Structure 1
Amino acid sequence: MNTICLIGGKLQGFEVAYLAHKAGMEVVLVDKNPRALIRNVVDQTFCFDITKQPEKLVDLSREFSAIIPTNENLDSILFLKKIASELHCPLLFDFDAYHVSMDKKRSKEYFSSIDVPTPFDKPSKPPYFVKPPCMSSSIGARIVETEEELAEIDPDMLVEEYVTGPVISLEVVGNGQDYAVGQQTQVHIDDVYDCHKVTPMETDGNFREISYQLAKNLNLKGIMDVEAIASQSGIRVIEIDARFPSQTPTVVYHSSGINLLTWLMDAFCKEVPDVKPQTLKHCVYEHLMIDDGNLTPTGEHLFSEGEDYFRLFEDEEIEIFKSTGKYTIYTLICTGESPDKVENNHNKAIEIIRKDMEK
C-alpha cells in the first residue's frame, strides 16, 4: 500500500487525505500543532516542526511514497525546497510555479505575457473589485462602489474591474512536458468571496485550452488550479494556485472518476494520463455552519479556527464531516444519478445534521 505524507493539517490536508483513502493509500500527517484539525481523518500523525527537526522528516521519508505540502506557510514551503534533495521520496510540488502563483500581481503579469484574458487592472471608473495580493486568501476581497471608498483601501491591495458571472475552476497536472486538464467545477462563493459550495459542470473548451496553455508556459511539474469568471464577454482568469487545491478535487472525483492525487503521483513517476471525455455524474459539496441555531452556508476560511474534523456519517451517496471548535461546521458530500436524487440526498443529509444538532 502506498503511503502519502502531508505537511499541514487543515483543509488542503483534508482534501488530499480524502482522495488518498479513496485510492487505498495510507495517510501520514506531519504538523507542529498537536491538535491539528484533520488528525482524526488520517492514519498516523507526527507532531513536530519540520524547520526545527528536518532530520526527523528526512528519516521518516524512507517510509513514504511521496510528500505533499498541504499548507500555505511560506517559511515551511521554502524550507521544504531547501531540504528536498535530502528526502528519500518525491516531494510533489512545483516551487517555480508556486513562486508565480503565490503573488496575484506576479500572476497577472504572467497572464498578460501569454495573452490570457483577465480582469483589467486599475479601471478608470467604479465599480472596482479589490483583493489581497498574495496566496489564495479571499480575506479583504470586496466590491468598491466609489472613488471615496477606493481612497481608503490598503495600497497593497489589487484593484481590478468588477466582472460578473459564475466562478469556475479547472485543475491541471503536468510533468514539465505533458499536461492533463481535469473536470470543470463551479465555485459558489459567499458574501466575503469565499467558497461555500462546489458543483460539477460541463467543461468549456476555451477554458480548457487556456488552462492547458497556462500550465504549458509555466513548464508545470505538479498540480495547479485555474479560477476564472465565465462573464458575458467570455472567460476572465482571476487566479492560479500551483498547490493542491481544496474542495474542487472531491467534486472532480465524484463527478468524473478522476482522482487528482493519483494523477499527480503518476506525473512524478510516469506519463501524464491521456484524458478521455467523461460522463458527468451529479454531486454537491457544501459547508454549513451553525449560526444562532440555524444552518448557514459558510466558506472555508473559518475552518482554520477549528479544533477537530471527523466523519459524522457515511453511506453510498451521502458523506458528512463535522468540524468543531470556535465554530461548528458540517461538510456535506452528496451524490446521485440525477439532480433530483442529489437534492433528495442533500435533504436527508440536512435531517441527519439537524438530529446531530439536537444532541
Structure 2
Amino acid sequence: MAALIGGQENELVFTRGATEAINLVAQTWGVQNLKAGDRILISTLEHHANIVPWQMLRDRTGVGIDICPLTDVGLIDLDAAERMLTSAHKLVSVAHVSNVLGSVLDAPRAVALAHNVGAKILLDGCQSVARLTVDVKALDADFYVFSAHKLYGPTGIGALWAKADILDAMPPWQGGGAMIDKVTFERTTYAPAPQRFEAGTPAIVEAIGFGAAADFVTAQGLATIHAHECALVAKAREALQAMNSIRLFGPEDSAGILSFALEGVHPHDLGTILDEEGVAIRAGHHCAQPLMAHLGVPATARASFGIYSDESDIAALVRGIERTKRIFG
C-alpha cells in the first residue's frame, strides 16, 4: 500500500477509511500541536470528512479555520490561498481531487505554499489514488489519506500516510491490544509507529483486498486509467452540453467525474429513472453541503467513470436523461 503512493511501510497506518485517518490526525497531531491563535486552511469544495474533524478540533482547542475560495471553474484558488496564508497557519488540509467536481489540485504548488509559511499539509487522496500517479515523497506532503473502496477495493478500510518523523512524534489515539509495548496497572508503554495507531484486531480480509486493489490499478497503469477516464468525461461533457436544460459543474479537464443538474428535476428523481435504465449515478450533496451552497443547488447528479466504463455507458446516460425529460415534460 505504501508503494502505491511512493511511501515506506513504516509511514503507513491502516484505518477504517479516510474519514478515520483525518480524525486520527486531528485528534493526535492536532491536539498535540495546535492551540488557540493557530489557524487551519481548508477549501470550499471539501468533503465533510475534511471539515467536521477540524471543527471538532476548533471546539476543543480554539484553533481558527479559514476557507479558501474556488476559481470560476471550480478549482481551489491557490492565488487566494497564497494571499490568505500567514505564519499563524499550522495546517492546510485540502482534496487532491474533488469528489464532486473532479477538479485536480495543483498539489506541488499547494505543498509549497503551505511550507512557505511553516504549515503542514494534508492531502485527501480518496479520488486521486485510483486515477493519478501519486508520489508523496516527490510532493513533499506531510499527510496523505485514502480509502480502499475508491480504489476498486473493499469498504471499511483506508490508510493514513505521514512522514516518519511526524508519525513517530504523534501520541496514540485509541488504546487496546496490538498498540502496546508493555502494560502494568501503573503505566503503559506503546509500540512504535505505525503499530501504535492500530489498536485491536486488524481488518485482515479487508487489508488483503486493499492490497489486491492496489496491485490491480498498478498493473493496469495509472496513466492509462487516467487517460481512459479523461477521454470518457470529455465525450460525456460534450454529449450533455448538446442537450437542453443541463447545467454542468466543474472544470472541463475534470478527473473521472462529471456533476450536473437537469432543470426542473431533482437529482434523486433523475437517479431513480437512470437506475431503471441500468445507469448507476450518485445523486445528492455528496457529503459536500458547503459546496452545494456555493453552487446554489441542493444537490447534483454525479456520473463517475472508471476503468470498466466505455462509450456505451455515455449513450445509456443520454438515453436515460432524455427519458427523464419526457416524463417531467
Structures share fold, TM-score greater than 0.5: no
**Taking structure 2 as the reference length, what is the TM-score of the superposition?**
0.32
**Taking structure 1 as the reference length, what is the TM-score of the superposition?**
0.30
Larger RCO: Structure 1 or Structure 2 (Cα < 8 Å, ≥ 6 residues apart)? Answer: 2
Normalized per residue, the structure richer in strand is 1
Normalized per residue, the structure richer in helix is 2
